[in-house]
Structure 1
């Protein structure tokens, strides 16, 4: 599946999941990024996208909006029936989900994109977002930095970077968001600390092989976030 199609499916999922009412196709084509071309082209894209989502186990509800016009249909994903295994997503797709949620934040159709995102992401997984403020992630150097960090967390690779004017060597355990910012939870000198990602220098070096360290079995990202009593740098 191409990155463009993946991003469109994610945008469509979040739009239908976040909306409190049934959306018409015209509203979807107008507001969901990724639909373009003639009316027939967008119609074909939408039909294929619906089939792809249903094959993934996503239940899309369809309802006639006007009893006199059966062709005037609306579409919605009921959050109560929405279940996707977060392990089905790659680290790149997790970031796309985050970016898509932020695109919907503040839009006329969005009411609860953060809750939608939380249903997809696993709090004890690689990435955790809180329900207070989801930070904006743009497709630039910031997203590249996050991808590198997520990859390091996933492969248990130690990192070296400049932070507040000092070179730091850490073992990354996970990333999370708090008060609108991304943070890296990582062990430095036998202490698990929080590093604000925007303060991490652009030059991030990998200083160990894959599986270069072992994360303690008792470490849980959700517990770390809830405690917030670990040193924050």
Structure 2
């Protein structure tokens, strides 16, 4: 039967097994006992899988130690985790540091890693003398969760497997099909990005996860490519960011609190009952989505292309709301009379 265990889960199972083993584990023992490895698969295939996993864990900072057997039999070579290097030292966290960690875990809200991040935070809080983080009240970092695309892309990076998805460009909204080799997934600013090699265009590309339309489909065999080791992905992502743009908005009095915090007061002309706000942004499509969600709380004064996109979204929403209802006419009439 084909192994259906996600690569990330298999890696975690391997770490748990090596941490709890009383003696070094051989590859044969790992194949037979660790969930995610098929004990009935070809030994050479299992060996290749373990070697990939071992290299990945070492890259992540897990100190896997090779213990050579006293005999000449290679199959008796064992592996263990150096607990002295891997064990987290004693932490003394003050309330502000606990508060910052609490804010950091919010980046994982509504993703597959939410429960793990909350569990880790709980453990760290147990080491602190005080968890009063009131100094950080009012801060609420929000990173787009993009949960449908995040998990399969993380698994594709771990398994070095090509993926295919439909992608909507930020400026024109044009939708195209992409086939890429994912290298790294990073959070930056207001969302998640995947840095990858575009196999069709034969060039490195960066994709924002919230512009991926539909499902991410993994294609081809695992370990189909190598991830470059000499690339600073964070610097690469920063270099590909679009130029900063400025939006002039009119916010209805008492509304649009999040936009007010990110923007600044301005003196451009707005209708009575509205406040003038100037806001900087990188992604026009993303901002248009956000502003459309504010409905009548916000008016776009400039730039015109942003106003056009917001109006298009509001018209599409109005069309959906005005669609004719189906069902029992008498039931509909009765509901309108309530």
Q: Greater relative contact order (Cα 8 A, min sep 6): structure 1 or 2?
A: 1
Determine which structure has more spread, i.e. the larger CA radius of gyration: 2
